[in-house]
Amino acid sequence: MGTGPAGGSAALKASASGLKTLIVDRKAEVGVPIRCGEGTAEDVLKDFGIPVESGLVRNHVNAGKFVSSAGSEIEIATKQKGLILNRENFEK
């Protein structure tokens, strides 16, 4: 499986279930180039048992702006703690 968020999560779950896992990716270096998907909720890391202080977090956020390819914009704010991951490190 690949090393993106879905493949990495699946490998983690499979490994935690006692299965042997192998992660193979077509990229020469895992996590590079950075793609979309760096934003997540703090609870997601906690659900996977990953400490927020693990060096995988680039920034803490409580608001965001989404811009579509057509130029439409939506701004949101939340009381839930959001994170911007250091995706290069997160995928490794």
In this predicted model, what pLDDT tens digit does every residue of 63-73 receive, in sequence order? 888 888 898 99
Task: For 5-62, write each residue's pLDDT tens digit.
Answer: 778 778 888 989 999 988 887 777 766 666 666 888 888 888 878 887 778 888 888 8
Cβ contacts of 65 within 8 Å, gap of 6 or more: 73, 74, 75, 76
Find tokens 């690949």 and name the residue.
2
Q: What pLDDT was estimated at residue 10?
A: 85
Based on the structure, what is the number of domains in the chain? 2
> What local confidence, expressed as pLDDT, does residue 49 receive?
83
Same domain, 12 and 50: no
What is the model's pLDDT at position 18?
Answer: 94
Please indicate whether residue 15 or residue 4 has the higher confidence score (pLDDT): 15
- 25 and 42 housed in the same domain: no
Judgement on whether residues 20 and 52 belong to the same structural domain of the protein: no
Helices marked H in the chain — which ranges?
5-16, 42-47, 87-90
Rounded Cα distance between 68 and 75, Å, is 12
Q: Is 8 helix (H, G, I), strand (E, B) or coil?
A: helix
- The verdict on 49 and 23 lying in the same domain is no
Q: What is the pLDDT of residue 19?
A: 94
**Domain membership of residue 4 as a residue range:** 1-30
43 shares its domain with 83? yes
For residue 12, give the nearest of 36, 47, 41 by alpha carbon. 47
